[in-house]
Amino acid sequence: MGQNESPITVREVRSKGDLQRFLDVAAVCQGHDPAWVAPLRMMVIDQLNPAKNPWFTHGEACQWVAEKDGILAGRISAQIDHKHLELHQDSAGFFGFFECIDDKSVADALFEEALSWLQNKGMKKVVGPFSLNINEESGLLVDGFMSPAKMMMGHAQPYYQKLVEDAGFIKVTDMFAFLVPMDTALPPQLARLRKSLRTNEKYEIRHLDPHRYDAEIRTFFDIFNAAWADNWGFIPLTDADFTHMAREMKPLLIPELVWFAYYEGKPAAIAVALPDLNEMIADLGGRLWPAGWLRLMWRLMTRRSWSSRTRVPFMGVLPRFRNKSLGSVLALLVIGAIRDSSLKLNMPVSEMSWVLEDNTPTIHSLSDIGGRIYKTYRMYEKVII
């Protein structure tokens, strides 16, 4: 280090105090941005807690905090998902939770620690960002910085992209977020098709029955694991993951926004829209104490009045129907039902995300119903041998 360079220290997160500093970094780097929504600190703490997050039954992780001149300057995590390694056999570890001031030396120091940890674990490349894996927050925002991110989607500063790429990472794939107005008229051909399906006995569509919640969510996850199996980087949800996610989702679920399509009496497709939690927590600064608890509980109980937007994080059709006209029909049924319900609930705009850049059928389908790409998230990789 030259005489004129400021000292940078990178410390592994080991204590509760370290974890608090890890959480504080996000506000240091992005707190000036009106489009950034502070995540709930309690949720991030639980996410990183092996005793509370079943991901740690098949994964391991480490986090670091960087300081420059004694001031918080950045953070990063490195993690290994053994389910991913078992399925993909690619010796790939992940990085995530990346936040950094606009300083290449800080970013390089963070990546050096993360890549060294992964290399010592036998990994030959690193992919990311994931927080913690592909079934959670994924990708680095590289376009669409002016509007707040929806729930489970990340925000970033424009210079983050340069920091990552200057550290030697190259693009693997882009993932799109579509903004879809729910009141846009369907193209005449789709409108006629949807109308004809209502009298076709082979098809049935219904929303979630809250009195059968556990069974309904089990059907949802069975379809999800099958429908997403061929997607880039897919990792199936384990039973423990399923139980945990079902419990986390329950306070947000509105039955009329969870739809199942059946073909010849058997489940065939699903679509789920969730009220935008980020909209409900935007003024809490990430903290629930002392008054944030009451605010959030009230907003969850009256979420239809507190959230005007939704996000569709899950939409899938069973593989045997994919790339066939029947698959498009099933997708139209569940998405059409969500559109109708969203308007009745006064939730006129939805983000449908994320969609891989090579998923041409879905891109065309969303464009046909008025959707437009308004955010792009990028996945990177770097060889570390």
DSSP state letters, 120-185: HTT-SEEEE-EESSTTSEE-EEEE-TTSPPPTT-----THHHHHHHHTT-EEEEEEEEEEEETTSP
* Residues 6 or more apart whose Cβ sits within 8 Å of residue 120: none
Q: Which fold has domain 8-176?
A: Aminopeptidase (3.40.630)
Question: How many C-beta atoms surround the C-beta of residue 151 within 10 A?
Answer: 22
Q: Which fold has domain 180-373?
A: Aminopeptidase (3.40.630)
Report cis status (omega within 30 of 0) of the bond before 129: yes
Distances (CA, A) of 339 to 85, 178, 310, 373: 38, 14, 11, 18
79-85 long-range Cβ contacts below 8 angstroms, 24+ apart: 79/130, 79/132, 79/133, 80/118, 80/121, 80/123, 81/55, 81/132, 81/133, 81/235, 82/58, 83/58, 83/59, 83/235, 83/236, 83/238, 84/133, 84/134, 84/233, 84/235
pLDDT of res. 305: 60
Structure tokens at 142: 């590289």
pLDDT of res. 245: 85
Domains 8-176 and 180-373 share a fold: yes
DSSP state of 235: -
pLDDT of res. 199: 74
Contact between 37 and 280 under an 8 Å Cβ cutoff? The reply is no
Residue ranges covered by each domain of the chain:
8-176, 180-373
The sign of the CA dihedral 279, 285, 288, 294 is negative
**Which pLDDT tens digits describe the chain residue by residue (385 residues)?**
444 567 899 999 999 999 999 999 999 999 999 999 999 999 999 999 999 999 999 999 999 999 999 999 999 999 999 999 999 999 999 999 999 999 999 999 999 999 999 999 999 999 999 999 898 999 999 999 999 999 999 999 999 999 999 999 999 999 999 999 888 777 777 778 777 777 778 888 899 999 998 899 889 889 998 988 888 888 988 889 888 888 888 888 899 999 999 999 999 999 999 999 888 888 888 888 777 778 888 888 776 666 788 999 988 899 888 767 788 888 888 888 898 899 888 888 899 999 999 988 888 888 888 899 999 999 999 999 7
pLDDT of res. 322: 75
R_g over Cα of the chain: 21
